[in-house]
Structure 1
Amino acid sequence: MVVGTTLFETAMSDTSTSELTRYYDAVPYDSHPFPQTAIEHLESLAFLFGLDTPAPARARVLELGCAAGGNIVPFAIRHPSAQAIGVDLSPVQIAQGAAALAAMRLSNVELRAFNIAEIDASFGQFDYIVCHGVYSWVPGPVQDAILRVCAENLAPNGVAYVSYNVYPGWKAREIVRDAMILRGGPRDTPEEKLSYARGMLEFLDQSARPDSVLKKTLDETMPIVRGGSSSYLLHEFLEPCNAPCYFKEFVERAGSHGLAYLADAEPATMFVQNYGEKAREPLLRECGGSQVLMEQYLDFLVNRTFRQTLLVKAERAGEIRYRLDAARLRALQFAGVFAPEDGSAIRLDGPEQACKAMRNLQVVLRLPVHKAVAQVLEQHYPATVPVEALITAAVERTGQPRDVVESPIMAMLEELLILGAVRVRRTAPEVASQISAAPRALDALRLAPSVALEAGVDASVCNAWHELVALTALERCLLEVLDGQHSPDALAAHVATAVRSDRLRFIKEGQPLGDNAQADAFIGQQIAQALHDLRRKGLLVA
C-alpha cells in the first residue's frame, strides 16, 4: 500500500529538503536488506543484554529512509501478522517500491513519501524503529527529528536502531570527500560528478608523497572508491550532507531526547577482550564500568568510521546488563558454520581442527564436545539449534554424560558469541534444516518481480537471515514451483518444460545439452544441487 501526503508537499518550502529530494530522486539508494537491521536481530541483542522486547511476529515497525522498501519489505514477508511502515523523502523510490509490493500481494506493509521531520503522534507507536544510512546524511534539524521520532514514537519497551558515520575514522575520509567534491561537485549529472571525483583521487594517489598523511589516507580509501557501487559512492562522498560525529556525542544527543544507549548492532565490537590483552586491562581500569566511555576509547583504538547503535527509552537504562547471563544464553537459538581449513570433515577423534566460522573468523576446535557442537551447527545451518538440543546431541555423539559436556558447551557458545562467530535468535527462523519431499519457499519471495527468469540476467532475494543472496537461473526456475506441492519428479518436469521452451539452457563442456537420457541425468544432478544451495542460502522454509 502506498500513500501520498500533503505534509510532504509543504516540506518542499525548505531549501535543504528540496535539494535532498532532488538528489535522492536522481541518485536512488540501492534498496536491499541490511542484516544488522533485522528486527529479529535487534530483539535478540536486547534480550542478550537484559531487556525483553516485543516479538517480531506481531510487532509494529517503522523505517525512516526506507528507499524503495528493500529493507523493510522482507520483514513483512517473514511476518504476515506484523505491521510495517516505511517513509522516504523520494517519491521516485516510493513508487518503485509500490510496483514491487503490488506483485507480491502484501497487505501488512505501507510505504509513504514523507518528510521525517513531519512525523508526529498520529503515526502511533512502534515496537522497533530503524533508521539506516540517513542520520549523518541529513541536515542538523532532520537529525534532531530522527531522534525525536525515535523517542516519541517508540513503544515503552521498544528498540530503535540508528546508523551514522563517526570520528575519528572519518577525520581522514573527509580529506577524500573534500577532494572529490572540489572536482566532481560542479558537474551536471551524477555520472559526471562521480567520474570527475574518481579522476581527482587517481591523480592524488599517483602524485602524493609516499610518506605523507594524504598518501596513507588514500591507501586506506582507494579500495573503497574503486570497488564501491556508484550509488554508495555518490551518497557517501558526494551527497550534499555528510556530518560524522563522535560516538559519545551521539549518545549525549540521544540522551537529550530521553533515549539511552543499549548496544551496537555488531556486538563483537563491544567486548574489550576482542582487542587484545594490552588494551583490555588498561581500559577496564580507565573506564570505570562505563560501556559508552569504553566503546569511545575503542573507536580511537581501531580508527572507527561507522556505527550502528541500538537505543531504548532512558527509563530502561537501569535494566541493561553487559555481563552475559547464563540463563539468557540458554534461551537463545544458535546458528553457525564450521569449515575445517584443511578441507576435511570435522572429526570427534584426533587432533584439534582449525575451522572457518561466521565472518571468516578462525575457530580452533580442541575437545570432542566442541567438535560435536560444531558438527550439529554446521549440519543444520542456516537453521538454528536450541542450546538443549546441542547438549543432547553432544552427549549422544561423544558418549560423555551431560554433567561433563554441559559446562564446556556453555563456555564455548559464550566465547563464540563474544567473537561474533555464531548467530543467535530468540525464536527459530522459518528455515529448513533439510530438504523435504516437497520443498517450499515463501510465496511472496517466489512472486517477487526480480525472481522471474524474464526479469533479467541477474537476480537476488532476501533470505531468512535478512541477507541478500544471488540466484542462478536454475534456482529462479525452481522457485516458481517451490510451493510445497511439487515432488522431485514434478520439479524435474517443470525444468524440462522450461528447457524445451528455451526459457532455460544447460551448458556442459561448452555445449548445450540435448534431449536424451544422459542430459536428463545431468539435469537431475543439477536440480539436486540447486535445492541444496537454496536450502543453504536460507530460502527454503521448514
Structure 2
Amino acid sequence: MMESAIVYDEIEYPAYSYPQIHPDRLATIARLHGMAPAPPDRCRLLELGCGCGSNLIPMALGLPESRFLGIDLASTQISKGRRQIARLGLANIRMDQLDIQDFSEDQGLFDYIVAHGLYSWVSETVQEKIFGIIEKCLSPEGVAYVSYNTLPGGHLRLMVREMLLYHCSRFDSARQKIEEARFFAELIAKSQIRPNSYGSLLQQERERVFCRHPHVLFHDELAECNSNVYFHQFMTQAAHHHLQFLSEADPRDVQPTANIEPSAVALLKKLGSETIAGQQYLDFFLGRRFRQTLLCHSSVAIDRTVTVDRITNLLVAANAKPTTSSLVDASDSEVLFSSVDSKDESASITTSHPLMKAVMVCLEDVWPLPISFQALWDAAHNLLLAWNPPKPFDSCNEWNCLAKMLFVCYQAGLVELHSWKPHLTSKPGKWPLASPFARLQSLEGDLITTLRHDQVQIHQAVNKKLLQLLDGTRDRSMILHDLQEAVLASQSPENGGPELNETAKRTGEMLDADLDRHLEDFGRLGLLVS
C-alpha cells in the first residue's frame, strides 16, 4: 500500500467534488425508500480515500453542525487538505493519513460512509475491509456509498487497458506512461484500414481515453489494481456483511428503460420484486461499466413503493427552460422544458398541463434554491391566477398528480429532490459574499465547487479575480475599483501618460458594463452565500 501512496503523491488525482456523495443526496434517497436517515445538517460522515478533501471540505463548510472524517494514505493529499481546513477555520472536519487496513472501529458510528473511486483500485483484502468498516461503523439507519467498475461493459475497458499496460511497461516514469498510453490509444484506434466492428470499439475507447484528465487516466486505467465485477457479485459480497441494496446514487441509473426494447422491459417487469436480478439484467442490456451503489443494513425495512407523502415532504429544484416557441400559459398547447445543465436528452418533459407548466416556470425563477412542495404549489397557483386558466387546478387529485409527475421528472434527471436547503442566494445584495472555498479554489485552478456541491469551470482570470473580491467587505463600487486595479496591473502597459489613462478608462467602462451580469451569473451558479 505504501507504493500506492507514493504514486498518488507523485501524480495527484484531480480535486473533484461529487454531488451524488453529499449527505443531502443520500438522505433524500433513503427517505424516498421509507428510511429515517440522519438529517444532512446534523450528521457524521466518513470518507474512505478522501484525497485532498475536495469532496469533504465544502461539505464541512456548508454543514457546520455536522462532523466529517476523511482518511487517505497519500501524505501530500492529506497535507494539502489540512492546509485548506486551517485557512477556512473549520473545526468540524478531520483528515488523517491512514491505511484503510489500520482503520479502527472505535471511531464510533457514522450516519453516512462513502468510498468513491476506491473499491475497484485496491486488493481483495482491502475490499473486504471496506465492507467490514461499513458493517461495523454504519449507524442503524445509515447509508453507505460505494462506486466500482462493473461488467459486462467493463470488458471493453479491460481489453484496452491490457494493451495500454503492455505498451507502457516499456517506460519507467509516470509521465512517460501517461504520454505513451494516449499515443498508443490513438495508434490502435487508427490501425484498421477497413472499417469493422473491432475498429469501431477501439475508436470509442480512444475517445474515452482522450476525454479523461491525464492523471485520472494514470490512476484508473494504468493502476496496478483495476477490478471489474458483476453487480450480483458485488451484492453477494455485501450480503456477507449483512448489507443490502438500497438504490443507485443517481436516480437516472435505477430504472433507465428509455433506450431498452419493449421485450427487454417486459423481462424486467416479470422479475418483479427480484431487485438484484432486475438490476443485473439492466446491466446486461445497457452494457453498464460503472455503478454508484447505495447500501444499508439488511435489518432495515426498505419500501420501494414511493408514496406521495414522501415526495411532498421534500424540497424541489430544477434549472429547466422552455425550448419551444410556444407561449407558456394556461392553454392546452404543449411546451418542451429541457434541463439547462444536462446533456442528456431524456432530461426534458413535454407538457400541456397548465399546472405543470406553471410549476416549471416557478422552479426556474427560484433556481438555484430548492423550494418546499407546499411553497411550490402556492407559487404555481398564484401564477395560474395571473394566466386566468379555464378551470382551477387545486384539488387533492391535482396535488397527488403533481407529486407523481415531479417524481417522474426526478427519475429522468430534470428535477431534483432535496432534504436540505443550502445557505446560498441568487441575488448579490449590497455586500456580495462568495463561498470561501470557491474563492480559495480560484487561486489554484479553474474547477470551482459551488454551494450546491457541484462543480463549474471558471477560466478567465478577470472572473476569478472578481470571485476572490467577493468577501463580503466590498460594495459594488469598491468591487469595481479593485477589479479595475487588478486588471490594469496585469496588463502592465509599457507606456504611461495618455495611453495609460485611455486604457484605464476603457477597462473601467467594460468592467462596469459587465459587472452586474457576472454577479448574477455567480448567483445562478450557486456561488453566493446568503
TM over 0.5: yes
- How far off is 1:347 after superposition? 4.6
CA distance in structure 2 between the partners assigned to 1:180 and 1:522 by the alignment: 50
2:342 pairs with one of 359, 363, 366: 359
Q: For the Cα contact (< 8 Å) 2:40–2:419, is it kept in 1?
A: no
Q: Spell out the pairing of 1:28-107 with structure 2 (5 A cutoff).
A: 28-107=12-91
1:385 is aligned to 371
1:462 is aligned to 449
Answer with 183-192 or 345-354: which moved more.
345-354
- Residues 520 and 90 of structure 1: is their aligned pair in 2 closer, same or farther, counting only changes over 3 Å? closer
CA distance in structure 2 between the partners assigned to 1:278 and 1:431 by the alignment: 46
- Residues 186 and 107 of structure 1: is their aligned pair in 2 closer, same or farther, counting only changes over 3 Å? farther
Q: Spell out the pairing of 1:330-369 with structure 2 (5 A cutoff).
A: 330-342=312-324, 346-349=328-331, 351-357=333-339, 359-360=342-343, 361-369=347-355
Deviations 1:352-410 (A, max 9, x none): 22232252323213222221111111111111121111211221111334117534422
2:434 is aligned to 441
- How far off is 1:313 after superposition? 1.2
CA distance in structure 2 between the partners assigned to 1:184 and 1:354 by the alignment: 49
Q: Spell out the pairing of 1:377-456 with structure 2 (5 A cutoff).
A: 377-399=363-385, 400-403=392-395, 405-446=398-439, 448=440, 450-452=441-443, 455=444
CA distance in structure 1 between the partners assigned to 2:195 and 2:394 by the alignment: 60
Letter of the 2:308 counterpart: A
1:173 pairs with one of 153, 157, 162: 157
Aligned residue for 1:428, secondary structure, equals coil
Structure 1 residue 376 and structure 2 residue 362: aligned? yes
Letter of the 2:27 counterpart: E
Structure 1 residue 307 and structure 2 residue 291: aligned? yes
- Residues 65 and 180 of structure 1: is their aligned pair in 2 closer, same or farther, counting only changes over 3 Å? same
2:106 is aligned to 122
Q: For the Cα contact (< 8 Å) 1:391–1:405, is it kept in 2?
A: no
Q: For the Cα contact (< 8 Å) 2:318–2:416, is it kept in 1?
A: yes
Letter of the 2:43 counterpart: A
Structure 1 residue 514 and structure 2 residue 503: aligned? yes
CA distance in structure 1 between the partners assigned to 2:320 and 2:255 by the alignment: 22
1:254 is aligned to 238
- Residues 499 and 213 of structure 1: is their aligned pair in 2 closer, same or farther, counting only changes over 3 Å? closer
Aligned residue for 2:207, secondary structure, equals helix
2:268 pairs with one of 280, 283, 307: 283
- How far off is 1:85 after superposition? 1.2
Aligned residue for 2:147, secondary structure, equals strand
Q: For the Cα contact (< 8 Å) 1:177–1:237, is it kept in 2?
A: yes
- How far off is 1:346 after superposition? 4.3
CA distance in structure 2 between the partners assigned to 1:512 and 1:24 by the alignment: 50
Deviations 1:324-360 (A, max 9, x none): 1110100111111222335787455473222322523
1:136 is aligned to 120
Deviations 1:480-513 (A, max 9, x none): 44344543333333334434544899xxxxx997
Indicate the RMSD between aligned Cα atoms, in angstroms: 2.4
Q: Spell out the pairing of 1:168-247 with structure 2 (5 A cutoff).
A: 168-208=152-192, 210=194, 214-247=198-231
CA distance in structure 2 between the partners assigned to 1:345 and 1:469 by the alignment: 31
Number of equivalenced pairs = 511
Answer with 230-239 or 199-208: which moved more.
199-208
- Residues 273 and 502 of structure 1: is their aligned pair in 2 closer, same or farther, counting only changes over 3 Å? closer
Structure 1 residue 320 and structure 2 residue 302: aligned? yes
CA distance in structure 2 between the partners assigned to 1:406 and 1:489 by the alignment: 47
Answer with 370-379 or 431-440: which moved more.
431-440
CA distance in structure 2 between the partners assigned to 1:150 and 1:165 by the alignment: 19
Deviations 1:159-214 (A, max 9, x none): 11000000000112111000000001231111211222233323322223756553
Q: For the Cα contact (< 8 Å) 1:333–1:427, is it kept in 2?
A: yes
- How far off is 1:416 after superposition? 0.3
CA distance in structure 2 between the partners assigned to 1:84 and 1:539 by the alignment: 22
Aligned residue for 1:477, secondary structure, equals helix
CA distance in structure 2 between the partners assigned to 1:250 and 1:323 by the alignment: 24
Deviations 1:448-504 (A, max 9, x none): 2x334xx5xx43321122112223434433334434454333333333443454489
1:541 is aligned to 529
Answer with 152-161 or 489-498: which moved more.
489-498
Answer with 125-134 or 520-529: which moved more.
520-529
CA distance in structure 2 between the partners assigned to 1:514 and 1:345 by the alignment: 45
CA distance in structure 2 between the partners assigned to 1:381 and 1:473 by the alignment: 26
The two structures have a TM-score, normalised by structure 2, of 0.90
CA distance in structure 2 between the partners assigned to 1:112 and 1:370 by the alignment: 48
Q: For the Cα contact (< 8 Å) 1:474–1:527, is it kept in 2?
A: no
Structure 2 gaps of 5+ residues are 386-391, 494-499
- How far off is 1:264 after superposition? 0.3
- How far off is 1:272 after superposition? 5.5
CA distance in structure 1 between the partners assigned to 2:274 and 2:107 by the alignment: 35
CA distance in structure 1 between the partners assigned to 2:454 and 2:330 by the alignment: 32
CA distance in structure 2 between the partners assigned to 1:234 and 1:378 by the alignment: 40
CA distance in structure 2 between the partners assigned to 1:415 and 1:314 by the alignment: 28
Deviations 1:428-465 (A, max 9, x none): 2222143433332334444x2x334xx5xx43321122
CA distance in structure 2 between the partners assigned to 1:515 and 1:344 by the alignment: 46
- Residues 271 and 427 of structure 1: is their aligned pair in 2 closer, same or farther, counting only changes over 3 Å? same
CA distance in structure 2 between the partners assigned to 1:76 and 1:345 by the alignment: 43
Answer with 334-343 or 130-139: which moved more.
334-343
Structure 1 gaps of 5+ residues are 1-16, 506-510
